[in-house]
Amino acid sequence: DSGVTQTPKHLITATGQRVTLRCSPRSGDLSVYWYQQSLDQGLQFLIQYYNGEERAKGNILERFSAQQFPDLHSELNLSSLELGDSALYFCASSDRRGGNTIYFGEGSWLTVV
Amino acid sequence: AQSVTQLDSQVPVFEEAPVELRCNYSSSVSVYLFWYVQYPNQGLQLLLKYLSGSTLVKGINGFEAEFNKSQTSFHLRKPSVHISDTAEYFCAAYRGGSQGNLIFGKGTKLSVKP
């Protein structure tokens, strides 16, 4: 158990819909990262927050957004969903801005039908 | 651009045999290197990491990796594998600066056969 908690574990939704994935980082960790894992793209970095502020941005679509709240939990919002958004979404956390060990949650499986 | 290359997409091996999973990285600056393991239908678990110091790093489950700066490699090894080691292994490098995040290789599926 890494200490990073993600909900829901599985989610099935229809195209065009919007979903929210939630992440609670390890106790004391200030950085939260979101990654997408798909068969064709592998593990892709989406976005990082540090202590409530966006720090780094990767290959995140405009239809996707994220935020980190004062209690340090984070949410990833996916809207206007397409079939190609079906993937495993990971949240990860670390205790620094970066360059240290990053621990991953179990992931949220999203299936868009 | 920094990238991580895992040279083998699949590695089949018999139980109790040694295994090496290869990883090369490209970077002109210091890097932090990691190996993660993903068991079927599970999340990513940290296996080991190299941040600095000794180039031979020991991790969990009997795995170890050696950082080789001249060859820009960080190969993962285990002297004797078990059926339970069957999983996908990911090499990753941390890219610092304003785009700080982990860059992953495409993964190596280790299949241990009895």
- Chain B positions contacting chain A at CB under 8 Å are 32, 34, 36, 42-46, 49, 51, 90, 94, 96, 98-104, 106-107
- Residues in chain A with CB shorter than 8 Å from the CB of B33 are none
Q: The tokens of B21 are what? A: 């999973």
Give the best residue of B102, B103, B106, B108 to mutate against chain A (max A CB count within 10 A): B102
- Residues in chain A with CB shorter than 8 Å from the CB of B5 are none
Query: What is residue B102's predicted lDDT score, i.e. its pLDDT?
Result: 85
Q: Is the pLDDT of residue A42 over 60?
A: yes
Distance from first CA to last CA of chain B, Å, rounded? 41
d(CA B64, CA B77): 5
Please give, rounded to a whole number of angstroms, the shortest distance from the CA of B16 to a CA of chain A.
27
Residue contact B101–A98, C-beta within 8 A? yes
Q: What is the DSSP string of B21-89?
A: E-EEEE-SS--EEEEEEE-TT--EEEEEEE-SS-SEEE-GGG-EEEEETTTTEEEEEESS--GGG-EEE
Query: What is residue B97's predicted lDDT score, i.e. its pLDDT?
Result: 63
pLDDT 10s digits, B29-88: 557 899 999 998 888 999 999 988 889 999 999 999 999 989 999 999 999 999 999 999
What is the SS3 assignment for A75? Answer: strand
- Residues in chain A with CB shorter than 8 Å from the CB of B42 are 106
Compute the CA torsion angle A83, B39, A90, B47 (nearest 10 deg). -150
Please count the other Cβ atoms lying within 10 Å of the Cβ belonging to residue A54. 12
d(CA A25, CA A22): 10
Q: Which amino acid is at B44?
A: L
